[in-house]
Amino acid sequence: MPVKNKPEICDQCHQGKVIKTMQDMTFHQWTSKGDVSCRVTIPIGVCDNCGAKSWNEATEAIIEEAVKRETDKLS
């Protein structure tokens, strides 16, 4: 059974610890109905050694929902 509070080691540099934070992200996405602009706050991990960023399925779901919401606004 994994230890819940054990720091995650970076997959890129294998030295740093991944620090989980909430970050704002603004992006554009091309969809079948046209270009949409999205702004989301997502949980993201950042390595304290090399700065590599990573996210998981929950983050991906937030991004996909934002794109769907903005696409649905288009006629």
- The pTM assigned to this predicted structure is 0.77
For residue 55, the Cα-to-chain-centroid distance in whole angstroms is 5
Q: What is the pLDDT of residues 14-49, one digit of tens each?
A: 999 999 999 999 999 999 999 999 999 999 999 999
Residue 63 exposure: Cα atoms within 13 Å on the Cβ side: 16
Q: What is the pLDDT of residues 49-64, one digit of tens each?
A: 999 999 999 999 999 9
Alpha-carbon span 64 to 47, nearest angstrom:
24
Count of C-beta atoms within a 10 Å radius of residue 66: 20
* Domains located in the chain, CATH noted: 8-73 (3.10.20)
Q: What are phi and psi of 67, to 5 degrees?
A: -65, -45
